[in-house]
Amino acid sequence: MTDSIIITTDTITNIISSDINTSSIIVSATQGPPGKTGDLVEGSFDSDRVVITSLGSQILDSFPYTQFGAAKYIIYATLGIERQICEILLIQDGTIVQTVEYANMVTGSLLGTFSASITEGFINIMVEPVEVGTSFKIIRTLIKD
């Protein structure tokens, strides 16, 4: 039988106030996709649904490149009964951004293709949807330098 550990807010407070290295503790971010308000912090967030209303490459998400050196995305797309999910790893040095897309699964055909760029102080995750009306949701984990 395996012992269970229940983590509460008090437990996290005790860990943070101790001498333990807490750099691996992830806190929920309150910043959503572009246009959302809140403080951007290291950690993960679930996005609201973003519905694409035009074709062509568009910004799906962005974050300041001076604060975070790497990120991991899970992107979920839907259009009618079609589904797509993939994971993307991203790393950047302030000049170049590199991504690798893996674990790409679809129920039919691809609903979008993804890329990244650095513009005006931000890392942008771009999507090029195959059809107007495609919905995207993301889970993002940011890693501070």
pLDDT in tens, 86-129: 999 999 999 999 999 999 999 999 999 999 999 999 999 999 99
Higher pLDDT: 12 or 51? It is 51
14 within some domain? no
The first and second tokens of residue 34, run together, are 């572009």
CA angle 87, 90, 96 (to 5 degrees): 150
74 within some domain? yes
33 within some domain? no
40 within some domain? no
The per-residue pLDDT for 11 is 39
pLDDT greater than 60 at residue 133: yes
pLDDT in tens, 24-51: 333 333 334 444 434 444 455 556 677 8
With 0.75 as the threshold, say if the pTM is over it. no
Q: Find the domain containing 81 and state its range.
A: 46-144
The first and second tokens of residue 88, run together, are 């993307």
The per-residue pLDDT for 38 is 43
Q: What is the CATH number of the domain that holds 96?
A: 2.60.40.1680
58 within some domain? yes
54 within some domain? yes
The first and second tokens of residue 125, run together, are 């995750």
The per-residue pLDDT for 145 is 84
Side-chain half-sphere of 57: how many Cα atoms within 13 Å? 8
118 within some domain? yes
pLDDT greater than 70 at residue 141: yes
The per-residue pLDDT for 128 is 94
The per-residue pLDDT for 48 is 63
The first and second tokens of residue 27, run together, are 């806190």
- DSSP, residue by residue, 66-124: TTEEEEEEEEEEEETTEEEEEEEEEEE-SS-EEEEEEEEEESSS--EEEEEEEETTEEE
- Using CA atoms of 35, 79, 132, 30 in order, give the dihedral in degrees to the nearest 10: 0
- Using CA atoms of 109, 138, 103, 111 in order, give the dihedral in degrees to the nearest 10: 10
Q: What average pLDDT is seen over the chain?
A: 76
Higher pLDDT: 76 or 13? It is 76
3-10 average pLDDT score: 44
25 within some domain? no
d(CA 93, CA 69): 7
Total structural domains in the chain? 1
